[in-house]
Structure 1
């Protein structure tokens, strides 16, 4: 890996870590489009670029989520009861998501990423107020919700915050608690999704040197080192921003990245 790519990945990792702490999105929504750009510029096999960007993004979340959630937990913002209820479904869904992704070509995968992200951004930007009495569903509903969150997150290489944050705010959870809890959910999503991407990627021919399944190990190492250092800073800033501003940042970031991946799908 040349020095220019290392520098670019360090900068990307720093931004990803900050975003993970700030928005509870695991950094994946930011990492996948920019990793796609970098791997394209370095002439990686075109048919594997999006798959590798998504898989590597998911793997980095194992490290950024731990760093981010420690900062949020110190402020008492993580709803651990919600984490326990969603985690079983998330583990199942996060294994299934990469399997679905392995069946799709690069164009279909990029389009899926763009559609899911744009939908999530719209839900957040509309800022619809939930019914005052609405609460979380029962155990079966939480299992299903976790399965849906995990499947989508595993498919597009994100920490699940683009689904779990809107879901929790819809259930009358305050945005800061939703972001913090989403950061905690990032670890089971990343763990199951990473193992799934290794398993299904090992069967794929033509992957470049340094790849373990669909995961590009050199990028994982560099990005993780930088992101772990900046995630606590993002978490600190998150607790200083007003709710309305945090929602706008979340939505606008997702829109811009969805636009790039849609462009990539048809290019």
Structure 2
């Protein structure tokens, strides 16, 4: 059984992730993956499976926030469903393929990839400058191949895809608000497909545990590469705190907070990678 301290920790983590998601418009993977990695190491999970379970669990947590975000943007009429329909095929293909690849990659390499991507995200967040480019026209073939790449990267580093999808759509003449709303809609098939991928590809995995005494609760509630108690309790609070973060964005210095958060992403990613060395 889960102890009360662990449950409270997951609830607190969900509230932080949800609030930041609403406040800064970022996915929760940047915080969830390092936090879950620390928890799994503390619980006795071996480093061989550490990143796989952290990524799979994080993607499952993102399902709830993705759905909540999708619903909010749909109510404002900011989702271009024709784009979602075309890109979803590529998203599903790329995302599921990436989970298969990830299941056969060493945790250390996954951690390094995650850290590099978060570093790149943090630098972009600190600069916070829009690069003006000549608008391009969307076509179905381009959307499919791009979506496959977005899905693959999202599954490997546990993001909802917004940091990749929004710039792509804006560059292809989609209105900013509709680009954000459409990206939110695309985030749902990314998170659902990635979760299924980590479930299926980790179903028969020979999970390694460094300390069987402390890792029993992890073993009992882990299916594939997804640790479900974390998903349930993190999702509960993140669902309710995301709207609070969105409201706070109107009163807090978001620009300063984004730069602070970017620095935090870099530190968390580096520390997580060092844990696996």
TM-score relative to the length of structure 2: 0.83
Other-structure match for 2:228: 217
Matched residues in 1 for 2:193 and 2:47: separation? 26
Q: CA offsets, 1:70-121, max 9 Å, x none?
A: 2333344444444333222111111011111111111111001111222233
Aligned to 1:129: 131
Equivalent residue in structure 1 for 2:241, among 230, 251, 254: 230
Residues 243, 138 of structure 1: alpha-carbon distance in 2 compared, 3 angstrom cutoff: farther
> Displacement, 1:211?
0.7
Aligned partner of residue 209 in structure 1, secondary structure: helix
Deviations 1:31-58 (A, max 9, x none): 1111111222222233222111110010
Cα distance in 2 for residues equivalent to 1:242 and 1:117: 22
Task: Give SS of 2:44's match.
Answer: coil
Point out where structure 1 has 5 or more consecutive residues left out of the alignment.
Answer: none
Moved more, 13-22 or 53-62: 13-22
Residue 24 of structure 2 contacts residue 254 of structure 2 at CA under 8 Å; is this kept in 1? Answer: no
Which whole-Å CA distance do the structure 1 matches of 2:82 and 2:260 have between them?
27
Q: What is aligned with 2:270?
A: 259
- Aligned partners of 2:171, 2:269: CA distance in 1, in Å? 22
Structure-2 separation of matches of 1:245 and 1:80: 34
C-alpha spacing 1:34/1:134, structure 2 compared with 1 (3 Å): same
CA 1:44–1:265 in 2, change beyond 3 Å: closer, same or farther? closer
- Which residue in 2 is equivalent to 1:73? 74
Q: Distance in 2 between matches of 1:44 and 1:206?
A: 8
SS at match of 1:147: helix
Residue 135 of structure 1 aligns to a residue in which SS? coil
Q: Compare 57-66 and 24-33 and name the one that shifted more.
A: 24-33
Match of 2:200 in 1: 199
Q: Aligned partners of 1:168 and 1:213: how far apart in 2?
A: 34
Structure 1 residue 60 displacement after superposition:
1.3
**CA separation of 1:231 and 1:178: change in aligned 2, threshold 3 A:** farther
Change (3 A) 1:174 1:40: farther
Aligned length, in residue pairs = 265
Question: Is the contact between residue 38 and residue 272 of structure 2 (CA under 8 Å) also seen in structure 1?
Answer: no
Unaligned runs of at least 5 residues, structure 2:
209-218
Distance 1:76 1:242 in 2: 28
